[in-house]
Structure 1
Amino acid sequence: MNTLLNIETRNAVLLKMAELLDKERDAIMKINKGDLEAYDGDDISMYDRLKVDDSKVDEMIKSATHLASQEDPVGVERFSFKHENGMQVYNKTASFGTILIIYESRPDVTVEAAGIAFKSGNKILLKGGKESLKSNLKIVELWHQALKSQGASTDWVEYLQYNRTETQAFLEKPTQKLDLIVPRGGERLIAFVKEHANCPVIISGRGNNFLYVHKEADLDIALKVIINAKTAKISGCNALDKVLIDENLPNKEAFIKTLISKLKEFNVQILGDEALVKFEGVEAIESYAIWYKEFLDYKIAIAEIESNEATIAMINKYSGGHSASIITTNNAVAETFMENVDTAAVYHNASTRFTDGSQMGLGGELAISTDKLHQRGPIGLQHLVTNKWYVHGNGQIR
């Protein structure tokens, strides 16, 4: 078992990692180019996640540096109690132990997610997708250099070069102690991990996010938010997939026509219900199953709806439990929507793209959980800990 590294060592490793990422920037991008050239799929969101450019390296450096500046999440006192028999009882945060992160195509996860788990005192096991293998191995090599520079064991960050069969076997019968698994990727990956894992799993983010344009919406805000949430980053689990428009919206036809033309500027495929198909550029929704689907693509589904109550019911039935937004100038309606929609994040007059650890003030995230235990939404440094009871006595018996 690895003894917990003190906070000074953990911070020094993270700062060294930031320095190495900058120094090896060109080498990382060159290796990543090989992964990109070898990728033979046609999934544009997968390709987008796989790509490492200057701005992605900058984000990795920023993440490692920021983590080093944050307070130690381990050993924080959450509760204290003085027993009548004189015992002093404390409850403090503690690291999980060993965390396995299974992810698809994102070399930045090898820095950002691993960094958060490492800062919170955990040993990290990484299992990335085959499409990003070379990029991931290069970044893990930098982790090992950073650990060695501080006299720490390279065991703290380990990369598992397993195929699907080997991964399944490891999940079912781990060859080392495993305390928590975080799958980062599509629904198939998450379902695979849930089916085979023998320890707690944090379910990270099926998107399928909804936005409701209420009859008292500011239409300029509605247009701006829909375009941003749909097109800014289609590979993000916080991207927008579904828009519900109040059937009593004033100037509804003009608004819908403007929305269609703006979406078409970004080559977004528009699917619509029977009220929307009469507009040029809208294809008919063929099956209600589409409302369950996360697109991760330049695709959107739009429908008319009769009320806030009907919208809440529809979102709670079909969404992925991730994020939902209402556009309205009526604060009471917004409050009803936000209190009753069952998603990890709810928005009033803002884009769903802000469901992100750094955007919500956490300084980064391991994942965005759509589970309700033990943390919902972005999982930051302070959430990647469990707790432990410390009891000090001098011979007390019960």
Structure 2
Amino acid sequence: MNTQLTIDERNAVLISMANLVEKEKDNILKANKIDLDNYSGEDLAMEDRLKVDDSKIEGMVHSLKHLASQEDPVGVERFSFKHENGMQVYNRTASFGTVMIIYESRPDVTVEAAGIAFKSGNKILLKGGKESLNSNLEIVKLWHRALEDNNVTTDWVEYLQFDRKRTQEFLAHPDQRVDLVVPRGGERLIKFVKENSSAQVIVSGRGNNFVYVHENADTDIALDVILNGKTGKISACNAVDKVLIDANLPNKEEFLKQLQQTLSENNVEIIADGSLESIKGSRPVKSEDEWYEEFLDYKALIGEVESATEAIEKINKYSGGHSASIISKDDKTAQHFMENVDNAAVYHNASTRFTDGGQLGLGGELAISTDKLHQRGPIGLQHLVTNKWYIHGNGQTR
């Protein structure tokens, strides 16, 4: 399986897969129901990620068709140079080779992330969690049918049905070439992969995202952004966990009252820090660890800062390096905040929920990287490639 597939071959497989997911929707939903019935339900966020419904199926189909419509990310010229000795030098994008995706509970990853990896000319090794096994095996069966229908070997998509010990052994000493490993899940999973992998790892890290309500904020916008970020999808890594209120906000007490009421109406537990402990119905922070924690639950920690500078310092100390938003009518302060907050995505008067490959114009994502190499934020089709130098000569020696 060393030969690269043409772009037409890759697109044909993606279209076939989209049609099969649509056609076999009922079988995917049946397999997913078995997984849901087997799941203990102890983790609200994981259960949300595990569930497949009509909307998620539509998302899978749309993702595959959109991928098929996009330009080939492989072989794109990034640089060219004519050497003084007459050699012609090019730098072009190239596939990684084999990409391993290790993920928890999300059957849609088996479609969307695999689709992005495949379109980029990579072989995919999928290692899903045991909680979504039936859903994943049903979807991989469709991948194999899509490949076979286009006379392409099923080796391009492989599901690794390994337990933790076998996964650990495979990461350290793979029995086939692995060029890149992408873990998608909680901090325990990411730590496990980083400690054991002999291949390069791109970390799709924790969220723990912040909203800073500046003293010159439009408080209506602030309420909308906080509510959307907190309750839109609690299992998402782009959800909001922390809210910083500027001590100099003119109508601070009124705003806090509105915020408390809005969050309480949406069943969000409020954890209040320091001077804000008087917020009705809130509980105090148990320890500093809560500032670092990604909640993935209906709870929000609200704290107070004296300035934008203090907000920036707090975010850079505690956040997961994912997303942060400033609510302010002051463009200069907002620009300063955005330039100095060390996150993959920074927002001005908008929700952190937009940190997503589809929403940011990439058509989907393999993962959202909180690393700084080789791509930060959503990893889309055009980022799942490395590069390669092509040098043409006629006998030049150095």
Does residue 308 of structure 2 align to residue 305 of structure 1? no
| Letter in structure 2 aligned against 1:207 | G
CA displacement at 1:275 relative to structure 2: 1.7
SS of the residue 1:368 aligns to: strand
SS of the residue 1:108 aligns to: helix
What residue ranges of structure 2 are gaps of 5+ in the alignment?
none
Structure-2 residue corresponding to 1:5: 5
- The C-alpha deviation readout for 1:66-100, integer Å capped at 9, x for no partner, is 00000000000000011111111100000000000
1:131-210 matches, cutoff 5 A: 131-210=131-210
- The C-alpha deviation readout for 1:284-341, integer Å capped at 9, x for no partner, is 1121111100000001000111000001000000000000000000000000000000
Structure-1 residue corresponding to 2:353: 353
SS of the residue 2:276 aligns to: coil
Percent same amino acid at aligned positions? 70
- The C-alpha deviation readout for 1:144-196, integer Å capped at 9, x for no partner, is 00001111000000000000000000000000000000000000000000000
Structure-1 residue corresponding to 2:332: 332
Structure-1 residue corresponding to 2:103: 103
Structure-2 residue corresponding to 1:23: 23
1:19-168 matches, cutoff 5 A: 19-168=19-168
| Letter in structure 1 aligned against 2:357 | G
C-alpha contact (below 8 Å) 1:100/1:180 kept by paired residues: yes
C-alpha contact (below 8 Å) 1:308/1:333 kept by paired residues: yes
> C-alpha root-mean-square deviation of aligned residues, in Å?
0.6
CA displacement at 1:2 relative to structure 2: 2.8
Equivalenced residue count is 398
CA displacement at 1:277 relative to structure 2: 1.5
SS of the residue 1:301 aligns to: strand
Structure-1 residue corresponding to 2:264: 264
| Letter in structure 1 aligned against 2:82 | K
CA distance in 1, matches of 2:186, 2:107: 16
C-alpha contact (below 8 Å) 1:357/1:379 kept by paired residues: yes
C-alpha contact (below 8 Å) 1:101/1:183 kept by paired residues: yes
C-alpha contact (below 8 Å) 1:90/1:389 kept by paired residues: yes
CA distance in 2, matches of 1:169, 1:27: 33
| Letter in structure 2 aligned against 1:258 | Q
CA distance in 2, matches of 1:185, 1:298: 19
SS of the residue 1:302 aligns to: strand
C-alpha contact (below 8 Å) 1:113/1:366 kept by paired residues: yes
What residue ranges of structure 1 are gaps of 5+ in the alignment?
none
1:355-394 matches, cutoff 5 A: 355-394=355-394
CA displacement at 1:126 relative to structure 2: 0.1
| Letter in structure 2 aligned against 1:223 | L
CA distance in 1, matches of 2:266, 2:2: 51
C-alpha contact (below 8 Å) 2:214/2:326 kept by paired residues: yes
Structure 1 moving runs of 4+ over 4 Å: none
C-alpha contact (below 8 Å) 1:181/1:200 kept by paired residues: yes
1:209-358 matches, cutoff 5 A: 209-358=209-358
CA displacement at 1:205 relative to structure 2: 2.7
C-alpha contact (below 8 Å) 2:190/2:205 kept by paired residues: no
CA distance in 2, matches of 1:280, 1:88: 70
- TM-score, normalization: structure 2? 0.99
CA distance in 1, matches of 2:183, 2:41: 21
CA displacement at 1:34 relative to structure 2: 0.4
| Letter in structure 1 aligned against 2:355 | T
- The C-alpha deviation readout for 1:175-229, integer Å capped at 9, x for no partner, is 0000000000000000000000001100003100011000000000000000000
CA distance in 1, matches of 2:220, 2:18: 41
| Letter in structure 1 aligned against 2:367 | A
CA displacement at 1:274 relative to structure 2: 2.4
CA displacement at 1:31 relative to structure 2: 0.9
| Letter in structure 2 aligned against 1:277 | E
CA displacement at 1:113 relative to structure 2: 0.3
